[in-house]
Chains A and B, each alone.
Chain A
Amino acid sequence: MPFRLLKYALKKEYPGKRFFRALETPKKSYDVVIIGGGGHGLAAAYYLGKDHGITNVAVLEKGYIGGGNTGRNTAIVRSNYLTPEGVNFYDASVKIYEGLSEELDLNLFYSTRGHFTLAHTESAMRTMRWRAEVNKHVGVDSRVVGVDEIAKACPQLDMSCSGQTPILGALYHGPGSIARHDGVAWGYARGADGYGSEIFQNTEVLSITVKNGKVCGVNTNKGYIETKQVLCAVAGFTPRITEMVDLKTPIVIHPLQACVTEPMKPWLNSILVSGSLHVYVSQSSRGELVMGSSLDPYEIHSSRSTLDFVEGLTAHMLDMFPFLSNIKIVRQWGGMADMTPDFAPIMGKTPIEGFYIDAGWGTWGFKATPISGKTMAATIANDSNHALIHTFRLSRFEDYELTGEKGAASVGH
């Protein structure tokens, strides 16, 4: 038994301190107001304090922290993207994640499992090679592997997929990991609180005051807050916030669903993704299979569940793992994914002075939590886009410079 457990158990006051103070009413003014108490917003608050000494910060969360997509995603972390800019960005995130449990002194169950993106068609194999080559170029461990290597990592996988769509190979990505998603939000919340940031739950932004193109404050259900800098980090609620400042973006909301089985003893060690079958799956440390599929095809601002999602997903899961027929799905749920046309986020400054955006996280936001927090904190502190996020600037659409991630139209996550 690790010493730390003994220490916790023997300490009289077992429960530690509150992770973050229970605050009810915000002050009159803050240097920075962060809208959204998810992983991204809390990470930004944390790095504002840690990297830039900016601590007069309020994080406003309309529900409870980590209650949006942070707590709904399937917790996969990887960096095997298609564009060098994308790979560099997500690789920086992976690097922070690897040391984050220690840094935040909270076990995030960051578990490096290896990630296989299965290819069932020749054209998918070509895309896998493309990604592998770009990854290699920037020094990320990805490579195209054959069926043998997949079978070695996951001997239970039916390589013929019930004869429907045989697997030809895969993109293997060594650093592919899963983590305890809630923990990421809680750890950053505790860290941000420690630096002095104030976190307010049940605090909803009702409007944002902009004068002469500059942000001057936000109006909330708990009163008006003066501030010159506002970060919008609200994922599926982004269009509602940007509408408040009359900012037009390409973001539309599509639900993304997921489901989980009852726990079973560990057998699946790798993270598997199949674009053709619209499946991604990993086994959590509790023993559940955590599974997701592709985006729902139409816009809706709701995290409702649909039956056809789980029917389609399970049918494809059984193509891959026929022996799971009598394993039961315990729960399905959904989140609101803020989608962009080029499958890349929108980050950084906007035409409104003091209004910063961290959005367009679609189905890939969790893995970027640390690096988005870090780069957005730097962007706010310097009022200048961090170099890593230049590609993701809002003006790329007007410039017809969409990111190349659009080139690889397969299931991501």
Chain B
Amino acid sequence: MSLRNPYKPSEWINRNKQINFMFEGEAFTAFEGDTISSALWAANQKVLGRSFKYHRPRGVLSLANHDVNILMTDGVDTNIRADVVEVKEGMKLYAVNTKGGVKKDKNRIIDFISPFLPVGFYYKAFHKPRWLFPFWENVIRKAAGLGVVNFNYPRILKRKLHTHCDLLVVGAGPAGLTAAYTAATAGLQVILVDENRCAGGSLSYDRGGDSITAEHLTTLLQKVNSLPNINLITGAYAAGYYPDHLIPIVGAAGITKVRAKAVIVATGAFEQPPVFRYNDLPGVMLGSAAQRLIYRYGVKPCNNGIVFTANNYGYRVALDLLDAGTSVSAIVDLRSGAQGGAYGDLCAVEIAKRNVKIYAGYCIYEALATSDRSRVSGAIICAYDDKNNVALADNKFTLDCDGIAMSAGWAPAAALLYQAGTQMQFDYSVQQFVPNRLPAGVFAAGKVNGVYELDQRMKDGERAANDVLNYLGKASVKINVQKSNVEKHGGTSPSHAYPMVPHPKGKNFVDFDEDIQIKDFENAAKEGFDNIELMKRFTTVGMGPSQGKHSNMSAIRILAKIRGLPVEKIGTTTSRPFFHPTPMGHLGGRGFHPHRLTSLHDWHAANGAVFTDIGAWKRAAYYLQSGQTKEEAIQTEAWAVRNAAGIIDGSSLGKIEVHGSEAAEFLERFFTGKYAQQKVGTWRYTLLLDEAGVVIDDGVASRMSDDLFYLSIGTTNAAAVYREMQRCQQMWQLDIGLVNVTGALGAINLAGPAAQKILAGLTDCDLSPAPFPLGHVRETLVANIPSKIIRASFVSDMAYELHSPMDQVPHVWAALLKAGKQHGIRAFGSDTQRLLRLEMGHAMPGVDTDGLTNPFEMGADWAVKMDKPYFIGQRSLAIINKRPVNKQLVAFTLDANFKGEMPLECNLVIDGDNINGRVTSIGFSQTIGQTIGLAYVKPYQKAVGTTFQIRTDNGSLVSATVVDTPFFKKQKEA
């Protein structure tokens, strides 16, 4: 039997387009615009989900994403929120978390044993004996969880955009629409966002059986649509509030991060279910859910309904039900004072006219279920003591029904306000938390502000907009802007102070996500969890996917009752993003993975380079020729450097110019060495420490003129070192200028016995060692490109580092390859470079040091000039110097005939039971014919000739002997 009603102009469905879909193996039809839940409800399907813990049958509760009674999978996606997700042609849907289907879920057995699973039961069982817990844990894990993850789900990268506006209004109900219109009329750029497919908020469903609200909606939408400076975004939600008014708007297509100058939160309120036994049966739903079914989807919530109310709103719901063709057999009003339509409410008067029986001062003591427990079939009703909040169950009677609409009150949708730092206070006139002190630039309007009458909500929207204009200094003469106060609520409270019906048998649910009942709170409190946060953690109330939207307020009221305290003394739990759970594909979105390439990148790629990431740079680690292993490639490249020539692209090196009359002074303060007397045309080693005396980086300073040094810095640290130089200059204010030329200049290192010959053909510079020895620098043309030639010895004594404009480096590279061809030149990569520098005995900061190593331990005493007036780290070194050195970096070799398991970097140096240090660098050197390395040892082991033990991965001990550096003594010229 279909519950679909005839066409209503308010509806969001397109009756001209039918949609076919499957649910649990059965075929159904829907209209375009139906949500999955509305379509199934229209088809009189009421068991649409199973609860998380007890696997109880569940149907529509809020139809607004304020609960997760109905979660589905379509075989691809999981945990689909059927209440708000539109049904699509061909969908094959199943409820999640069932065993054997939603109707016959085998796990429903858990509901019957639920007395054995009281609140926090899992803390109290399964842990003895200890060895059985893994078994129980497995059982529990399988029972918990909701949907099953689809491991083949595609990666989705949603767009993440940034946008800016004067005012963001969240919520396009009467308050939000009015606020946006008012602000936009005064010239503000406004973004108005609403999570629903259509704007209007409660105007789109809360009709009270009349047409006035519909007229308001039409008028407001016309006004809003007429202004070009309002950007109305529907079907997207404000997911959270972040500092300085940053609010991500999450929609189907992606995230828009709105940076607003001011925000109006007009998010309304969540209707709260009253708590009574079996209030979770399919067919028992919130009044607002019933209205949403009626007006948005043209669906009758039920045929014969009872309204259980504790406010005037229930009477509006009753009128809407009647309007939809539902017969209303009774209104059960918790309030004894509501007798005969008291409180002067017009709807109540109208109801009385329609001969609907009103039981004032009564409660639904218990909902009754059909024999298959699949839906509500009636209600047991009795009088209710509104003072002591107890059901007077001695005289109870039963009414049949196939649906119950509940209206007991509201909780403000104040998540964004809380996240923004709003102080809330409890307002007894509306029995609700309302904003007390709002942060600068954040405003509230409408129900979230405790304003409930429609006229007043619109006025409140206007007031909030005026407050914004004042705040932004945009108050214009045209609009009478004055700081006004929120109008106080008159009449009866829209929310009942304690809409709970105790029942000795329980099953009166507070949190539908987690199946939490009143007694769970009582028990938790009795065990000492009587602080709202402790209670939340112990009972898990509000911790499910709907994050307490329909349960937190009840939890607070119950705890207040238990403790005999007023509600405001209980406080609230902290509100955290997200307002609705937000997909990772939206949040992750398109990731930016910036990387830097040298101008030789294409050449490397074309020549078999295997790249490695060093900081943002992609560097060639080695070049793999066909059939080679990595190790073979490295050895081939190293062999070329030792016996012919090699070139490496060093363009990722940090390169910094220090100009100015006090450039040498700057270097003397910044590094450990001395530079004042350094001759123009030479370079010196640089060692940088931090203030604690720890080694940070090393490099080379070339003096190009009296007032210009050219620094080469390791790739990894280049950006940080430059930044630190800038910071020091801020403090020291020397007559210098820093120019970072890292990206502007490239570098090639040409090394090997044939290096001089190769280079000689490309430059006029006299390269012979007498005029141009190691340690010197020249500026000249290389292959007609202006370049610096630095005779550094990092990988070889016979090496020339060529620094040229980045875009000219390929030209120089090609010229070198061409000139070197007859000498057997070969490109080598950064992994090979590490072996070569090891052969030279150079320790590398970051590889041969860690975050605590000082220069004495590293063996760089010679580079530290303690007799200078100052350098960074000097004072700490003076302290460290008074203490014995605890470890020492030494060079070692393994026996030339060593054949066992090769020690690896970070294998430990072991002496008996003690860890004495670790290997920091190790490699087999073909040139030397031995395995060589650097390791930390205890000072008693540092003398050349000492042997020490390295323990390999498999536990065997390998003897190593301390030797002098460099391993590779002297390059013979070819």
A residues at B contact (CB < 8 Å) = 1-2, 4-6, 8-9, 14-20, 22, 63-67, 71, 84, 98-99, 101-102, 105-112, 121-123, 126-127, 129-130, 133-134, 136-137, 144, 156, 162, 164-165, 180, 182-183, 186, 201, 261-267, 285-287, 304-307, 310-311, 314-319, 322-333, 341-342, 400, 402, 404, 406-409
Contacts and interface: CB of A to CB of B under 8 A. Distances in A.
The 10 A-B pairs at the shortest CB distance, nearest first, are namely A287-B145, A325-B585, A328-B581, A322-B155, A407-B850, A315-B588, A101-B127, A18-B528, A314-B588, A107-B127
Interface residues of B: mostly helix, strand, loop or mixed?
loop
Nearest to B124: A8
Given A84-B915, A266-B142, A305-B419, 7 more contacts: A5-B116, A9-B117, A263-B52, A287-B141, A323-B152, A331-B576, A404-B852
B883 A400 contact: yes
Nearest to A267: B149
A84 B915 CA distance: 8
B584 A329 contact: yes
A92 to B, nearest CB: 18
A264 B149 contact: yes
Contact of A318 (B155, B577, B578, B908): B155
Contact of A323 (B155, B523, B544, B918): B155
A149 to B, nearest CB: 14
A332 B117 CA distance: 29
Interface in B513-564: 522-524, 526-531, 533-534, 537-538, 544-545, 547
Interface stretch (B212-220, B366-374, B899-907): B899-907
B123 interface: yes
B545 A162 contact: no
A107 B128 CA distance: 9
Q: Which of A1, A64, A182, A262 has the most CB of B within 10 A?
A: A262
Contacts of B141: 266, 285, 287
Contacts of B846: 123
Nearest to A99: B130
A409 B851 contact: yes
A333 B547 CA distance: 13
A8 B583 CA distance: 40
Nearest to B520: A15
Interface in B119-137: 121-130, 133-134, 136-137
Contacts of B883: 400
A137 B908 contact: yes
A345 B577 CA distance: 31
A101 B136 CA distance: 14
Contacts of A305: 240, 242, 419, 576-577
Contacts of A130: 906, 918
Interface string B562-599: 00000000000010111011111101110101000000
Contacts, number: 285
A406 B852 contact: yes
Given A133-B906, A317-B584, A121 B613 contact: yes
A330 B113 contact: no
B253 interface: no
B145 A286 contact: yes
Contact of B154 (A98, A129, A285, A325): A325
B246 interface: yes
A287 B156 CA distance: 23
Contact of A400 (B240, B692, B908): B692
Interface of B: 52, 77-79, 97, 113, 115-118, 121-130, 133-134, 136-137, 140-142, 144-156, 160, 240, 242-243, 246, 248, 257, 419, 522-524, 526-531, 533-534, 537-538, 544-545, 547, 574, 576-578, 580-585, 587-589, 591, 593, 612-613, 692-693, 846-847, 850-852, 876, 879-880, 883, 904-908, 910, 915, 918, 951, 953, 955
Contact of A106 (B124, B612, B613): B124
A2 B591 contact: no
B528 A265 contact: no
Contacts of B242: 305-307
B243 A20 contact: no
A331 B580 CA distance: 9
Contact of A329 (B582, B589, B613, B908): B582
A359 B151 CA distance: 42
B852 A402 contact: yes
B56 to A, nearest CB: 17
